[in-house]
Structure 1
């Protein structure tokens, strides 16, 4: 298939989505794991218990991948096939849709078999809660909430930034999101050092989280949910969550599935009590399967939208460049 210059990013995004759907995360030598190792080494060199050190750490750790993306973008400006291949590889690397759905369905299988020990052992693949005392409904709730939030973080947000900013957007977003997972959580060590990483991740997810909510509402009928109910719960409960972004995704998911999310979350060494989202019963194994299916549908909708935006962006840029060249030629006469 011949790849036109205007379509390179769009084709690359769709190819990357297809690779993720077919193969999931690379099992060995995952580039994101390599980035995490490098970021950990950088943290050891720059760490100090104040925000300025954390800001410097975030600037370097995110800035380097962004600059690498810019360099690749410039180098492939007149090589659309190479550009498409690089965007496809980057998209595959930064997406986590198949892995998210696999972990969710594995959890549902354990809960359906009443194997709480296996389910508790699997929860850390999805979130950082202490599973030792969680029963089936709480394990299901943790899974559904993780699917909702990570549909944005691991699927919609990378595609959004790839659509609007190409390779630099894909690499920069994944770097920022990885840093937030590493140092953006509340702990004595990262209370100040992790502030910059956490706020950067929040800023980058403002639009994608709301887009995720809109697509979740749109796709609610695919899991026998109601768009009207999903929209109602989202409007009412989205601001109740302590996160400016997670509440968007979790409230729309709660409404689409007809369940109640929120409550007391126990982490290792601390606990949080969060407002309830939704009006239905507590989730069960069946709700996890529906959440995974809904996540996959949202991902497909986001992929189509991202490809459309990327192609439109490239077309506008090409038209603008052509207009500038014509103006310059006309001025030289």
Structure 2
């Protein structure tokens, strides 16, 4: 498939994601990747010794098999569809591009938290936010719930929207599937706890590598989008440049810093995970408390950055191609 075809497919897939999101009833490649990871983990833990070296090797095999099988399946699916008919192949590229993006679903899930905070109980809000965060939610008050939702939207603006857009633009659905396989692995096994310290290390390092450039691009795009979206553009740049390295991960704080600055709030800080308090530095300045409406504001900022990414990764290359042909 030509570059123009897969960029056009990406544009259509982006539009479909904004319109429909990810219906829970529909088959989805990320759920298939998750099932593959779970199955491979069980198999590899049985095959390799439960020693640091054994778990490191098993984790490396997991990363290779998950990324290889996922990417190969995407290539095979596109080839089979294209072999039947070129338009079917194009439709398959649109479908995979659509399914690998998560802007609408990120907005929809965070909106459930907002609605629970505004019209429901604190327990309902905690339940809603527990679906999109990994931290313990039973200790969160209303401000903590809103803050957790804002942080999730800000962080996932990179690995759920901007980064997939970049990989899809560069290499079409196969490269997008490769990225999503690695990112899903990191979300499932890339923890620094006793269970995954060695087994998940390869997946975590590979995810760090793949997200190194996209995270920084995403942070810049959120700063650029802040003022047009109606937020504090100057403060977005200030906090982004000051706080974007305030995280153990080399990539996670870039979009959080941009969002904190744009919204004039303080994000991050210490949180409870699996019953243990994890000390983390704050990002941004507490110019005002985080409130439920900040969830909607961060959604708008994420959408604005996504549109800028589409112009940069897809629109400009298509226009340049048309200009030269």
Of 38-47 and 140-149, deviating more is: 38-47
Take 2:263 and 2:84, find their aligned partners in 1: how far apart are those partners?
Answer: 47
Of the three residues 40, 61, 84, the one matched with 2:66 is: 61
Take 2:255 and 2:113, find their aligned partners in 1: how far apart are those partners?
Answer: 20
Q: Does the alignment pair 1:23 with 2:20?
A: yes
Question: Which residue is equivalent to 2:100?
Answer: 94
Question: Which residue is equivalent to 1:281?
Answer: 288
Take 2:317 and 2:182, find their aligned partners in 1: how far apart are those partners?
Answer: 21
2:4–2:318 Cα contact (<8 Å) kept: yes
Question: Which residue is equivalent to 1:215?
Answer: 221
- The size of the alignment, in residue pairs, is 314
Q: Residues 302 and 269 (structure 1 numbering): CA distance in 2 closer, same or farther, change over 3 Å?
A: same
- What's the TM-score once normalised by structure 2's chain length? 0.89
Query: SS at 1:161's partner residue?
Result: helix
2:78–2:92 Cα contact (<8 Å) kept: no
Take 2:152 and 2:307, find their aligned partners in 1: how far apart are those partners?
Answer: 19
Q: Does the alignment pair 1:107 with 2:113?
A: yes
- Give the alignment's Cα RMSD to 1 decimal: 2.5
2:155–2:256 Cα contact (<8 Å) kept: yes
Q: Does the alignment pair 1:123 with 2:145?
A: no
Which structure would you say has the larger Rg?
Answer: 1
Which sections of structure 1, spanning at least 5 residues, go unmatched? 320-333
Q: Does the alignment pair 1:179 with 2:185?
A: yes
Of 244-253 and 65-74, deviating more is: 65-74
Query: SS at 1:187's partner residue?
Result: coil
Question: Which residue is equivalent to 1:292?
Answer: 299
Regions of 4+ moved over 4 Å = 70-80, 309-315
Query: SS at 2:250's partner residue?
Result: coil
Take 1:223 and 1:137, find their aligned partners in 2: how far apart are those partners?
Answer: 23
Q: Does the alignment pair 1:144 with 2:150?
A: yes
1:151–1:295 Cα contact (<8 Å) kept: yes
Question: Which residue is equivalent to 1:324?
Answer: none
Of the three residues 267, 272, 275, the one matched with 1:261 is: 267
- What's the TM-score once normalised by structure 1's chain length? 0.87
How far residue 310 of structure 1 moved from its aligned partner, in angstroms, is 6.1
Question: Which residue is equivalent to 2:37?
Answer: 39
Query: SS at 2:282's partner residue?
Result: strand
Query: SS at 1:261's partner residue?
Result: strand
* Per-residue Cα deviation, 1:6-54 (whole angstroms, up to 9, x for no partner): 4211111011111111111132222211221122111111124421110
Higher relative contact order (CA 8 A, sep 6+): 1
How far residue 114 of structure 1 moved from its aligned partner, in angstroms, is 6.0
1:164–1:313 Cα contact (<8 Å) kept: no
How far residue 130 of structure 1 moved from its aligned partner, in angstroms, is 0.8
How far residue 244 of structure 1 moved from its aligned partner, in angstroms, is 0.9
1:261–1:282 Cα contact (<8 Å) kept: no
Query: SS at 1:19's partner residue?
Result: helix
Question: Which residue is equivalent to 1:197?
Answer: 203
